Structure 1
């Protein structure tokens, strides 16, 4: 075999390898996009349900306006972060919204008529279900981001990634308060 033929074979193998890596990176990038879209759909659904919940609560909770306003402010922050695809802001806004919803559901305990209202029960169950689905989708998103980010940094994939502009994506992070253990003693003393 001549040197030119060996060089041509080596170049062809390198090209095939580059195409293989490129296609894998494209798949990973689209998996991250799909994971984000799944979160986005659930956030939008929850966004649409929250005003209904607040309106239902307003009928019973005349003296709890601050709690209701905090939920709506947090809802707007989540919507803004979601629309701008600002992952860091979304994590902070999600924390504020979950805190607000927790406070709203806790305050609702003091209103027996509200607790037994069919609309309130339905909305509370719907929002709780959406919260659980969002948590699942957040985990899938972070897994997809992690796989993408590792591949973009690994050699030799990093060469192809840099050559074609593949990038890392930010993980969806949450406040430290969400990650700490629940104080069971405090729960039983209430």
Structure 2
């Protein structure tokens, strides 16, 4: 049992680290696309939510917020990015502008990596949760320090959006995360496929 629990928890730790790397990569890549979009005079009503979403995602990560709160901000960032990238694809003025198309393409690749990393993390989390809940094995697992872990679920967080030039300087200790249908079902993560495992256990 101890070997099995350690293996599951090791998989969980590794998959969480991979997910963190890809989410950070997206935050690092976003400013280049934002700058190119500003230079191309893209609509401010599209850029403003993107700037706010990125700032919030970075702030929550730096403040060590829960996985559920990070999922909400990361999904909001993905929604804002997809909205801008859709505009980039449809706007004939930037359709052949490599300065904006290149960072958009790089972010699309990162989005796909995030989808894969989130799937792996959620599968690992579901395996740990099943083991901890099992009877009677779960009792032994809990005695050995095993505990249920949250999934990384698709949620949408309400953003404080101002001017696209504004930078968020203060973030409240908690943000309301509102579960609803995401803009893109696979943007941040997929729902847990095991009906016996609930959503994020916050």
Say yes or no: TM over 0.5: yes
In the superposition, the TM-score normalised over structure 2's length comes to 0.71
In the alignment, what sits opposite 2:200?
A: none
In the alignment, what sits opposite 2:147?
A: 167
Conservation of the 8 A alpha-carbon contact between 1:91 and 1:172:
yes
Conservation of the 8 A alpha-carbon contact between 1:53 and 1:123:
yes
Cα offsets for 1:104-126 (capped at 9, x unmatched): 12333564332211121111111
Q: Secondary structure at the match of 1:116?
A: coil
Equivalent positions of 1:30-109 (< 5 A) are: 30-61=10-41, 64-83=43-62, 84=64, 86-109=66-89
* CA RMSD of superposed structures (Å): 2.1
Q: How much has 1:80 moved relative to structure 2?
A: 3.2
In the alignment, what sits opposite 2:181?
A: 177
Runs of 4+ residues deviating >4 angstroms: none
Cα offsets for 1:8-32 (capped at 9, x unmatched): xxxxxxxxxxxxx112111111211
Could you tell me how far apart the structure 1 residues matched to 2:79 and 2:114 are?
Answer: 15
Could you tell me how far apart the structure 1 residues matched to 2:184 and 2:86 are?
Answer: 20
Q: Secondary structure at the match of 1:114?
A: coil
Conservation of the 8 A alpha-carbon contact between 1:81 and 1:87:
no
Pair member with larger Rg: 1
Q: Secondary structure at the match of 1:177?
A: coil
In the alignment, what sits opposite 2:104?
A: 124
Stretches of structure 1 that go unaligned for 5 or more consecutive residues are 1-20, 182-190
The structure with the largest helix share of the pair is 1
Number of aligned positions between the proteins: 160
In the superposition, the TM-score normalised over structure 1's length comes to 0.75
Stretches of structure 2 that go unaligned for 5 or more consecutive residues are 156-179, 186-202
Conservation of the 8 A alpha-carbon contact between 1:46 and 1:130:
yes
Could you tell me how far apart the structure 2 residues matched to 1:25 and 1:43 are?
Answer: 27
Out of 109-118 and 43-52, give the one that drifted further. Answer: 109-118
Q: Secondary structure at the match of 1:166?
A: coil
Conservation of the 8 A alpha-carbon contact between 2:79 and 2:184:
no
Conservation of the 8 A alpha-carbon contact between 1:114 and 1:120:
yes
Q: Does the C-alpha gap of structure 1 residues 94 and 57 become closer, same or farther in structure 2, counting only changes over 3 Å?
A: same
Conservation of the 8 A alpha-carbon contact between 1:60 and 1:111:
no
Cα offsets for 1:145-170 (capped at 9, x unmatched): 00011011113322222222211110
